[in-house]
Amino acid sequence: MIAHFAGLGSMGLGMALSCLRAGIVVHGFDPSAERVAALCAEGGHALDQTSPTAQIAVSVVLNADQTRTALFGPEGLTKRLAPGGVIISCATAPPAFAREMEAEAHALGLHYLDAPISGGSVKAAAGKLSVMASGSADAFAAARPALDAMATTVFELGDQAGAGSAMKAVNQLLAGVHIAAMAEAMTFGMTQGITPHSFLRVISQCAGTSWMLENRAPHIVAGDYTPHSQVNIWPKDLGIVLDIARDAGFTAPITAAALGQYLAAAEMGLGREDDAAVAKVYARAAGLSLPGEA
């Protein structure tokens, strides 16, 4: 079985390598030649015009516009996908966009799985992602070899595209708010003499913890903002959440407040740092020095 990947970033490369370990032949493309080389070093191949036809196409790009180009553009994955093949589309995007992509895929005789992912780069590399997926039974069946390789949990949320993207929007609302809330709580604690290390040691064992706190707070304690998930992800993802909410006539003030902090972090030049760097917004406003800062 052959799979073509578009996007070999912090998530996509790990997913591609997980497929390789499962015996799937993987051809991948990324704007970064270094990322393509990393795939090839592990036994994968660069995706180009000489690549064989695939049964599975996996798109792990940033947003809706990139997804459309990756799938249906002049060099899109659908150009070398076998009839009856399946697209696994993983970007965070509005549900209406997922339904549009499904219709375009069906018009070409292809299956489409609306399959946003969660778990971060570490779980992607280990093949232990969670996938929030929706699509036809045939789409799930065609995608199963790759899903089994990339994920430990696949939530089957409906027989049409859109439901997966809707659930991902709910997840991103919570995840983005939780990171910002962790940063606010940690820096608030610093004003009361509580060190980031002490904050993590205690709160991670108390009711105020969250998966995001336990995952991201150690980055701040270590003073290491090597990006596992960039600050720049959140203006996009929380923007999508607020767009969906607005269309539904729903107000989301906590989401809007968190979005403001990520926008502030990006304006401070922190966009390419790990999203835990949102703590620097709070710290600088309060005149505090985080670990690793002078």
24 has pLDDT over 80: yes
User: Listing from the earlier edge strand, what are the strands of the sheet with 151-156?
Assistant: 117-118, 129-133, 151-156
Q: What DSSP string runs through 136-173?
A: -HHHHHHHHHHHHHHEEEEEE--SSTTHHHHHHHHHHH
Average pLDDT over residues 192-206: 98
Closest of 176, 195, 177 to residue 187, by C-alpha: 195
123, 168, 236, 280: the catalytic one is 168
Average pLDDT over residues 111-124: 94
CATH of 165-286, one of 1.10.1040.10, 3.30.9.10, 1.10.10.10, 1.20.1070.10: 1.10.1040.10
Largest CA distance in the chain: 63
3 has pLDDT over 90: yes
85 has pLDDT over 90: yes
294 has pLDDT over 80: no
Q: Residue 165 burial by CB count (10 A; 0-12/13-18/19+): exposed, middle or buried? A: buried
- Sign of the dihedral defined by the CA atoms of residues 272, 278, 279, 283, in that order: positive
Task: Give CA–CA dist 245/253, Å, rounded.
Answer: 11
Average pLDDT over residues 3-9: 96
Q: With H, G, I as helix, E, B as strand and everything else as coil, classify residue 27.
A: strand
pLDDT, one tens digit per residue, over 60-77 is: 998 999 999 999 999 999
Q: Across-strand partners of 131?
A: 117, 154
pLDDT, one tens digit per residue, over 153-193 is: 999 999 999 999 999 999 999 999 999 999 999 999 999 99
Domain ranges of the chain: 2-160, 165-286
Domain 2-160, CATH: 3.40.50.720
Q: Residue 130 burial by CB count (10 A; 0-12/13-18/19+): exposed, middle or buried? A: middle
Is 168 among the residues known to form the active site? yes
Q: With H, G, I as helix, E, B as strand and everything else as coil, classify residue 176.
A: helix
Question: pLDDT band for position 10 (50/70/90)?
Answer: confident
Question: pLDDT band for position 277 (50/70/90)?
Answer: very high
Percent of the residues in the chain that have a pLDDT greater than 90, as a whole number: 96
Higher pLDDT, 140 or 120: 140
Report CA dihedral (132, 138, 141, 147) to the nearest 10 degrees. Answer: -30
Q: According to the model, what pLDDT value does residue 71 have?
A: 97
